[in-house]
Amino acid sequence: MNKKILVTGANGFLGSAITKIALKKKYKVSVLVREKADLKNLEQIQSSIQIYRGDLREIESFRYPILKSDIIFHVAADYRLWARKPKELYDSNVRGTENVCSLVSELNKKLIYTSSVATLGLSEGKESNEDTYVNFKNMVGDYKKSKYLAERIVLKFVKKKKLKAIIVNPSTPIGPGDIKPTPTGKIILDVLRGKMPAYVDTGLNLVHVDDVAEGHF
């Protein structure tokens, strides 16, 4: 496999799973991480990948790694269900995604964009998919709103025929490598540790992180 791929957020839970599977599939893999990123999830494979440092909010900081790649897996996201400064979520998830789309389009590359099940509408008694209507005003929390707006940006680039892209809408991943942990991973830990103070009548769609990663290919 001679294709060169770049994975943004490759040190994260899902990003590292995608990176490891990409190596197994014999891709030439580069990763984009923040300057002070924790690389624990990548420590066993660092010798097999090219590591670039950059910030999605600063477009010129990652022009070169995109230029040197064929396919960009944009996985990086600020995954917090609550933030003291919501603007941080929008800066990373919305503006960062717009910057990625701009460069991928300009440099004529292909984008695999990791969106979220959070952007899908809910249909009572029926299965939801990417065509299920969703009302932005009814979305709860800035994380969901930021991912919705980011996905709209990707679609806007595609519809203007400026971008070759595939959007992936994974639901809640679980499994090894959730070292931070993610907000949903923390829920599982809190239940196991007896620290969950209350429960709500709701549902949660779970999928193994390696299956989510495989789905990206």
- The predicted model scores a pTM of 0.92
Contact 13, 176 (CB under 8 A): no
> CATH for 4-215?
3.40.50.720
**163: phi > 0 → left, psi -120 to 50 → alpha, else beta; which?**
beta
Q: pLDDT, tens digit, for every residue of 24-68?
A: 999 999 999 999 989 999 999 999 999 999 999 999 999 999 999
CA 196, distance to chain mean position in Å, is: 27
Q: Which residues pair with 20 in a beta bridge?
A: none
Contact 174, 137 (CB under 8 A): no
Q: pLDDT, tens digit, for every residue of 83-114?
A: 889 899 999 999 999 999 999 999 999 999 99
Where in the chain are the domains? 4-215
